[in-house]
Amino acid sequence: MSERWLWTQKEDIGPPPRFGHVMEYEAARQRAVLFSGYMSGGVTPTDTWEWDGDAWTQVADIGPFGRYWASMAYDTVRQRTVLFGGDVLEPTPGYSNETWEWDGTEWTQIDDTGPPGRAYAAMVFNRERECLVLSGGGVVVGSNWQPLGDTWEWGAETGWVKRQDVGPRSWDSPNMVYTAEHTVLVGTPPSRTGAVQTWEWDSRLWTQRQDMGPLARDSTVLTYDSQRDRVVLFGGQLSQIGAVSFPLLGDTWELAITEQ
C-alpha cells in the first residue's frame, strides 16, 4: 500500500508573523503551545498561543518577558511545558537564566538559578529519568559568538544540577531528542568543517557516537520518529569555514541506532 504525503494550509490568521519563537506539543491536553519570538520592528511579544488542530487561540498575554531563541520542552510526567533562557530585549537587553512553566492556564517562574543565561540551547525531557536535559547554546561576548559546552539537568525535587562542564561545544543551535533509550545531540563542530557531530548523554558523560553524515550546518531541525525508531534531521544553513556562500539546505537524513 502506497502512502500519500500532503501539506495542507490550515489557517492564515493567528499569531502575528515572527521568528525565533518556541513551540512544543502538550500530549495531555492535545495542544501545541507557542510563545514569544521576534517580530517586525524589534518587538518581542509576551503572548502565548495554542493550536488545537483547527484554530489558534491566544491564551495569555502575561508571563515571562518576551524573548527569542529560547529553549522549550514538555515534561510528560508533570504535564507542564518548560521554558528556559533566550535573548531578552526588555526591560534590560541580555540573556535570561529564568525557568518558567506553562500549566495550560498560566505561566509560573520555577527557577532563576542554574544555567547561566544563553540562547540557542538544546533541551529535551528524559522520560526514563524524569528530568529535563539542557546543553550548549551560547552568548555574544563583545562582537564574538561564544558557544557553551556545559550540561544541566532539572528535576522537580532537585531543581537545576550541573552535570558536566565539558561536552559537545556546538558552534550554533544544537538539537537534542530523546528516543526512549538514548539522549541524542546533533551539532556543528567548533571548527565548522566536515560533518555534524552526533553525541549521546548517559546522565554522567557525553560520548561522541559519529562524526560522519550530514555536512555541518546551522539552524537545522531534529525530531524522533517513534514508529520507525529513527532520528530525523532536515535542512539548515551550510556553515562551512571558507565557503563562498552559505546556502540554505533541503536535505533529509535519518539516524538509526542499532545493537551490534
Residue 42 in grid coordinates:
524589534
Q: pLDDT (tens digit, 9 = 90+) per residue, 152-182?
A: 999 999 999 999 998 888 877 899 999 989 9
- The pTM (predicted TM-score) of the whole model is 0.91
* pLDDT for the residue 242: 73
104-162 per-position pLDDT tens digit: 999 999 999 999 999 999 999 999 999 999 999 999 998 898 989 999 999 999 999 99
- Nearest partner of 75 among 20, 134, 111, 27, judged by Cα: 27
pLDDT at 1: 67
Domains of the chain: 22-166 (2.120.10.80)
210 confidence band (pLDDT: 50, 70, 90): very high
Q: Where are the beta strands (DSSP E) in 44-121?
A: 48-51, 56-60, 71-75, 80-84, 87-88, 94-95, 99-102, 107-111
pLDDT above 80: residue 244: no
Comparing 82-86, 188-192, 241-245, the range with the smallest average pLDDT is 241-245
Q: How many CB atoms lie within 10 A of CB 249?
A: 18
Q: In this structure, are residues 151 and 134 in contact, taking their beta carbons and an 8 Å threshold? A: yes
Given a cut of 70, whether residue 253 has pLDDT beyond it is yes
Residue 93 has what pLDDT? Answer: 94
**Residue of higher predicted confidence among 26 and 259:** 26
Residue 60's pLDDT band, with cuts at 50, 70 and 90, is very high
Half-sphere exposure of 258 (CA within 13 A, CB side): 5
With a cut of 80, say whether residue 7 has pLDDT above it: no
Return d(Cα 220, Cα 134) in angstroms, integer.
17
Q: Give the per-residue pLDDT at 258.
A: 84
Provide mean pLDDT across the span 46-73.
95
Task: Please say if the pLDDT value at position 245 is more than 80.
Answer: no
Per-residue model confidence (pLDDT) at position 260:
66
